[in-house]
Amino acid sequence: MAFERTLEYVEYPDSDLAMHLNKIYLKHRFEDIELYNDVVPALDILVPHFKIGLLSNGNSYPERCGLADRFDFVVFAQDVRVAKPDRRIFQITEQRAGCPLDQLLHVGDSLEQDVAGAHAAGAHTVWLNRDGLTNDTGIKADYEISSLTDLPAILEIP
């Protein structure tokens, strides 16, 4: 456990304190998540038209943040032991989605992990750039949006 090792490193070994710190961390990490205002409205529009999946390197499980039954499948790096941008996690997603990578649209907020990773695997990409950051990386997404409410226009949903 990371807290136990950290306490040992600072020469204050205390397994009870480490367990307490871990409990507090997990509570805040997984139970205190606030969704962006555009998440539920975007899902409401997309779900009737597409198979929707969640691919994440570490965010909370959908049922822990009010999104139970919103996704057809989920792929979490900690569960499959491979993380974005590794091509293998996109291949696992391809299998769970039941369609080829060139038919997948991966939406993510990281140019390096989401956009570059999905492109390298053969998927289409959307960079969710909520903060209007300048892209000086050379990594190019197929689309760039500032809100998930922009997805229906990209996907030509009225």
Residues 90 and 66 both lie in one domain:
yes
Query: For residue range 76-109, what is the model confidence (pLDDT) as tens digits?
Result: 998 999 999 999 999 999 999 999 999 999 999 9
58 is in which domain, residue-wise? 39-154
Mean pLDDT to the nearest integer, 39-61: 92
Residues 15 and 85 both lie in one domain:
no
Q: Where are the alpha helices (DSSP H) in the chain?
A: 2-9, 15-31, 39-46, 77-80, 87-97, 117-121, 151-154
| Cα–Cα distance measured from residue 128 to residue 110, given in angstroms and rounded to the nearest whole number | 8
Query: For residue range 27-45, what is the model confidence (pLDDT) as tens digits?
Result: 776 667 789 999 999 999 9
- Domains: count for the chain: 2
Residues 59 and 123 both lie in one domain:
yes
| Cα–Cα distance measured from residue 65 to residue 88, given in angstroms and rounded to the nearest whole number | 27
Residues 8 and 63 both lie in one domain:
no
Quickly state the pLDDT bin for 55 (edges 50, 70, 90).
very high
